Structure 1
Amino acid sequence: METKKLLKTAIGAMVIAFAIAACQTKKTASNEDADPAHNSMNSVDWTGTYQGTLPCADCPGIRYTITLNDDDTYLLKTRYLEKSDSVFTESGTFAWDQTGGKITLADRGEKFQVGENQLFHLDMEGNRITGNLAEHYVLARVTDQLTDRYWKLIEVGGQAVVDGSTQKEPYMQLHSEDNRLEATGGCNGMGGTYELKEPTRISFSQLIGTLMACENMEVENGLKRALESADSYHVQGDTLQLFRARMAPLAKFVAKEQ
């Protein structure tokens, strides 16, 4: 009789233990499926542009520049270093996974883990890449970026540049791969090199250009003088200004998507 009573007690204890374990498992699973307050999608400021150079099988690297928008669309620019100067541009949508920590680019199938000011390029199964090359699969968020952007000239020598007042749109680009300047004041193409020094020092050299004559050469001449004189710059978001010492801005630009 005593043995039967002990057996019933043991069975009851086991039932209770299994019930508690089941409740805990259910609770844990529920928490893992969705955390509405603490995941990358909801708690990280992930919109913006990220840049890095990913490993390449037959070239020094693939230059990646990807912009994530808050409407779940993206713009991707890639360039294969030392193989071509061509920049391949794609756009599309991306989707978050159930954890709110990873995204997948539609059509391309590429996966990224979203971190604080970083994107981690994942393998096809959605896992972090490890080993000696792991650090090369990280894209850093661009803040107040100067190089590798198309800067449209909107003011030079204190005078506004009116759209359509020049034969071509005046702009400037600073290519980071070879420290090369590419520009036009609206008529002739200009080129040269640039050098950056901390914190916001800049200098242009070896400036050359074609010699065509166009209407409204004032804009082009003003840009050329600004490039020859500038010794510092200031970038804030999508606005760039060139300065000489602490004088008024020599030229002002706004970033524009190509």
Structure 2
Amino acid sequence: MRWIVSISVLFVLSGLFTACMNQHATSNTADTGKFGKVTESKVIGVYKGDLPCTDCEAIKTVLTLTENKEYVLEYIYVGKSQEAFSKSGKWELSNTELDLSDLDYRYKVEDKQLRQLDLSGKEIAGELADRYILRQLP
């Protein structure tokens, strides 16, 4: 009798373990399924946003990524100068991160937007975190 109880408990525990593992796998798949695999064709386009600025109102930013893996980054320091600055170069996609040549920081590729990362490659946290986003124009 004791043998039957032991086996029954093992079956119940293994069933619970399997159910938990399946639930965990399903939730991970749902998280990555929103945008799908990041590919070069998904990042090509024009991105725009107003990034935070310490000594001006904002940094109006436009980033253009072309099919031949070149970029043009244009920005204006709003409230400080009307002069437009620009940089250009090549871009590379590595997993979900976009690397622009001649820039110290990278961007994390998300669904129809790019999130600027800090100089160590981590997401920017804090009150202004949502302002470090460039949204893709339609």
Instruction: Tell me the residue number matched to 1:84.
Output: 81
Uncovered stretches (5+) of structure 1, i.e. residues with no partner: 1-37, 144-258
| Pair 1:106 & 2:101 matched | yes
Please report the RMSD computed on the Cα atoms of aligned residues, expressed in angstroms.
1.5
SS at match of 1:135: helix
CA distance in 2: counterparts of 1:71 and 1:124, whole angstroms: 26
Task: Give the structure, 1 or 2, with the largest relative contact order (CA under 8 Å, sep 6 or more).
Answer: 2
Instruction: Tell me the residue number matched to 1:40.
Output: 38
Relative distance call for 1:54 and 1:73 in structure 2 (3 A) is: same
Retained in 2: the 8 A contact 1:50–1:142?
A: yes
SS at match of 2:130: helix
Uncovered stretches (5+) of structure 2, i.e. residues with no partner: 1-35
Instruction: Say which one has the larger Rg.
Output: 1
Instruction: Name which of 28, 35, 51 aligns with 1:54.
Output: 51
SS at match of 1:108: coil
CA distance in 1: counterparts of 2:39 and 2:69, whole angstroms: 11
Give the TM-score of the pair, scaled to structure 1. 0.38
Amino acid at match of 1:124: L
Percentage of identical aligned residues? 32
CA distance in 1: counterparts of 2:100 and 2:113, whole angstroms: 16
Instruction: Tell me the residue number matched to 2:118.
Output: 123
Q: For residues 59-107 of structure 1, give each alpha carbon's deviation from its aligned partner in whole angstroms, at most 9, with x where no partner exists.
A: 111111000112221011000001111111221112222xx21011111
Instruction: Tell me the residue number matched to 1:137.
Output: 132
Give the TM-score of the pair, scaled to structure 2. 0.69
Q: For residues 91-127 of structure 1, give each alpha carbon's deviation from its aligned partner in whole angstroms, at most 9, with x where no partner exists.
A: 1112222xx2101111122200111110001101111
Structure 1 runs (4+) deviating above 4 angstroms are: none
The alignment of Structure 1 onto Structure 2 pairs a total of residues equal to 103
Q: For residues 139-189 of structure 1, give each alpha carbon's deviation from its aligned partner in whole angstroms, at most 9, with x where no partner exists.
A: 11112xxxxxxxxxxxxxxxxxxxxxxxxxxxxxxxxxxxxxxxxxxxxxx
Retained in 2: the 8 A contact 1:46–1:116?
A: no
- What does 1:1-258 correspond to in 2, within 5 Å? 39-41=37-39, 45-97=42-94, 100-143=95-138
